[in-house]
Structure 1
Amino acid sequence: MRRILRDLKIMLLTNLWIVPVVAALVGALFYFVAPPPPMHARMATGAVGGGYHTFAERLRDELALQGFSLDLVESAGSADNLDKLGRGDVELALVQSGQELTLSDEARSTLNGLGVMYREPLWLFLGDTAKFERLSDLIKLRLAIGSANSGTQAVTAALFAANRIEPPQYPQHWQQMGGSKAAEALIAGELDAAFFVGPAENALIQRLAAEPKVRLASLRRTEAYLARLPYLSRLEVGEGMLDMQHNTPDRDIVTLGPVATLVAGEAFHPSLTPLILEAAKTVLKHGSLLDPAGSYPAKPPLSLNTLSEAEYYYDKGLPILQRYLPFRIASLADRYIILAIPLLVLLFPLFKAIGPIYQWRIRARIYRWYKHLREIDQQLYKGSLPSDLDAEIARLERLEDELARVEVPLSYSSELYELHIHLRYVVERLHSLKAKNQAAPE
């Protein structure tokens, strides 16, 4: 056992040179690998109680299970969300499709669409006595077109513009009003009609659906609108879909609506994309009254750039490591694997060389002694040995004593013993030469 430990010590000391080499390569790996993505982000959500904020709260809770912190930032709507993204106040925001078209090409190039989260129907609720066939009929009515700079007003403005009804032509009895304020005015009879944008499950939409004093209108000529406003989508709402008790709507209707798109700014770390989208998929897995289960998230609109990570997610799903490991661990492993491959390529020939180098260094401990034997052998051949053979013999015997203290692994002992034999052979030759010289007549 002691011999084995000694051989192991010799081997380790002999190959000690590899430690700084490997340390340098590993250090380079940690130096050049990209830092892990942050485990927190800020998201602009719209007003509290709105569809965006409700979805963001569910997304935040789902991400928290992965140790990711999502801070929700209230806003005035899609336009405000885009401003916050542009200023870098937030990394993520929910934006109504079509709003990005109001930006310059340069500003839009700094944004990336992560995906469509759900559809946002446009609801037109009418009072008891209001008559409606086409949008032009609303000119005569007291109408709420949505709050200033809101997503609702953006959609209604686009629909009116398709009918060549521009803001300067808006009647004075139209009001820039939305949300609960518009709902209260409609129920109180202060408005004849009001537009709202939001999911069918939204509390405000559900309240209006249960209100007997208002009814839900159906939009006509939807194909004509879609041809002019491709960022909108057509939605069919079946009888009683919003409220079966009150049978709202009281017949099958058709409406239009944008889609809620999750948009990332320049400060967003692309590696977080699969984590965010998988959490959104979990939140949306059961669908909604209008969106079938498993429909969303979906690829973002073509009007926005798409991160390669998002493309991969929609085409192939989660990265392989994230399918089996927590995000934080998978993210680190993924980064180190990328650089570990070239590191292994370098280490393979390095470790392959350990054997020959080890063999050479051990044998060098033995073979260097042959230098002295070779010098004496050459002098014997040339007859040029010094006259004082006793001094040369004493020098070789000292070498023999030093050689006895040389340590080599057990597997190389035979070569060490061969050196002892050769050294003794040369010493005997010198003794023979000395005796021959002494016996020669003067």
Structure 2
Amino acid sequence: MPRIFHFTKFSLRDFIVTAGPPVIVVLALCFIAYRLIDPAPPKHVTISTGQENSAYEEFAKKYAAMLAKQGIQLSLKPSQGSYENLQRLNDPQSGVDIAFVQSGSTDQAEAERKGLISLGSLFTEPVWLFIRDKKNITQLTQLKRLKINVGPEGSGVPQLFRKILSVNGVEPDDLTLGTLENIPATVQLLDGRIDGMVFSSAPDALLIQMLLQTPGIKLFDFAQAEAYTRRFPFLTHVVLPRGIVDLGRDLPPKDYHLIAPTATLVARGDLHPALVDLFVQAASEIHGGAGWFRKQGEFPTASYTEIPVARDAEKFYKNGPPFMQRYMPFWLANVFERMWVVIVALGALLIPLSRIVPPLYVWKVRSRVYRWYGQLRTVEQAVEEVPPEKRTEVYSAQLARLNEIEEKVNQVSIPLSFAEELYGLRSHINFVRKRVLWLMKGQEAVLK
């Protein structure tokens, strides 16, 4: 058995020598295509979030954790809010690739001109107007001469709240609008230094949970919420159900009507398609459940956004994740999705290669036998063309040469399937030796 293995192991060597160059060419083409055809997605992405402890920040942390499982590092860049996020997306030098943007912050024509794409609407973020209970405010017209914090300009809320005030006939100069961030404004509200504060956020934010349970602080009820949605198409009418915060304490004590824009995940148009798939799938897991203002599976969605929805995101909302990503790890599915054109082309190339390589392999193995036939032919020519006076010397020399050839041929190892050629060579060596010996006897007879 060891000797059999000694023979057969050379077939692998010959196969590697024969098939190696075509395989190397194919692999080189694959590598070049991998680098040039739809480059690999970047390993680092930056998302612009929101203020400290905001819902944007909390959700961004969840995205970062999910993308980290796929080898993508998501860096969080705090901001004042939606308006500043939109400015960063419009500025290529900001280093921001994707951001949370509130509906109503831009329009379709402007978004298309800036090359922005939406990855879908994620959740509604109602306008929360918290007021000190002593004020007994039931209409926005009663806010005149009060101190209301609307947050920094970058949050987008000041612009939205001014629109809401304007349709109520209230001018910004009729009240004092503060520009503090949410946490400092909350401190002032609890201390009585301001009369109220307004901001827009998902109910998941800890600040909202706290204010809804704080004695002396009341949530404003937008009783005309449906009318606001008719005046501003980017707003929706949502209801905060009675007891949703704490059923035992009956908080809140009644249904509250609120107006709500939607939070949208917005990116630049050059965001890699693979990253679009990752973000949309992450959004489906993070925002797909039921909540205070949404039913199971209602979000994320391609609706409620004035920014054009990315083609890959729209396909996901219609058909689910791409076929390969359902059954393969992200990195492997991404390679196949990027390389499918090359794979098809290489498949077509492998068909003729599969017909060329076997004959080359056979030729390579047999060449180790056939090259000795050249040596035999040299011996035959030497004994045929020698002058009579040198025949004895040449015959002896060629006979010694034949012995050397036979010794080396006996050391040749080839696969057993090609043994016929090897034994044929040995018989032919013996045939030439017999001929040389016969010529030597004839020469000796002549000399006698």
**TM-score tier after normalising by the smaller chain length:** 0.7 to 0.9
Counterparts of 1:35-434 in structure 2, within 5 Å, are: 36-64=40-68, 68-85=72-89, 86=91, 87-101=93-107, 104-105=110-111, 108-109=114-115, 111-125=116-130, 128-130=134-136, 132=138, 137-138=141-142, 140=144, 142=146, 144=148, 146-149=150-153, 150-160=155-165, 163=167, 169-177=171-179, 179-180=182-183, 194-210=197-213, 211-212=215-216, 214-220=218-224, 222=226, 224-242=227-245, 244=247, 247=250, 249-265=252-268, 268-299=271-302, 301-320=304-323, 322-323=325-326, 327-328=330-331, 331=334, 339=342, 342-343=345-346, 345-347=348-350, 349-367=352-370, 388=388, 397=399, 400-401=402-403, 403-404=405-406, 405-406=408-409, 407=412, 409=414, 410-422=416-428
2:31 corresponds to which residue? 30
Identity, in percent, stands at 29
Who is 2:7 aligned against?
7
Residue 18 in structure 1 maps to residue 22 in structure 2: no
Kept in 2, the 8 Å contact 1:284–1:293? The answer is: no
Contact 1:376 1:385 in 2 (8 A): no
Is the 1:270–1:309 Cα contact (8 Å) retained in structure 2?
yes
Of Structure 1 and Structure 2, the greater helix share is in 2
1:92–1:301 CA distance, 2 compared to 1 (3 A): same
Measured at CA, do residues 184 and 335 of structure 1 come closer, stay the same or move farther in structure 2, by a change above 3 Å? Answer: same
Whether the 8 Å contact between 1:261 and 1:300 is mirrored in structure 2 is: no
TM-score, length of structure 2 as denominator length = 0.75
Matched-pair contact (CA < 8 Å) for 2:85–2:100: yes
Quickly say closer, same or farther: Cα 1:33–1:372, change in 2 above 3 A. Answer: closer
Q: Number of residues paired by the alignment?
A: 430
- Answer yes or no: is the 8 Å Cα contact 1:88–1:265 preserved in 2: no
1:243, 1:249 within 8 Å by CA — same for their partners in 2?
A: yes
Q: CA deviation at 1:99?
A: 1.3
Unaligned 5+ segments in structure 1 are 379-383
Aligned-pair distance for 1:119? 0.7
The gaps in structure 2 that reach 5 residues or longer are none
Distance 2:18 2:422 in 1: 24
Structure 2 counterpart SS, 1:171: helix
Superposed displacement of residue 412, structure 1? 3.1
Worse-superposed segment, 386-395 or 252-261: 386-395
Aligned 8 A contact 2:243 2:252 in 1: yes
Encode CA deviations 1:345-386: one digit per residue, 9 max, x unaligned: 5445435433322222343444556678889999xxxxx977
Q: Structure 1 residues 224-233 or 185-194, which shifts more?
A: 185-194
Contact 1:201–1:289 (8 Å) recurs in 2: no
TM-score, length-scaled by structure 1 = 0.76
Seen in structure 2, the aligned counterparts of structure 1 residues 62 and 421 have a Cα distance that, compared at 3 Å, is closer
**Contact persistence 2:46–2:77 (CA under 8 A):** yes
Deviation at 1:78, TM superposition (A): 0.8
Q: 2-side partners of 1:64 and 1:414: how far apart?
A: 61
Deviations 1:217-239 (A, max 9, x none): 224262x5434533222213333
Cα RMSD after superposing both structures: 4.4
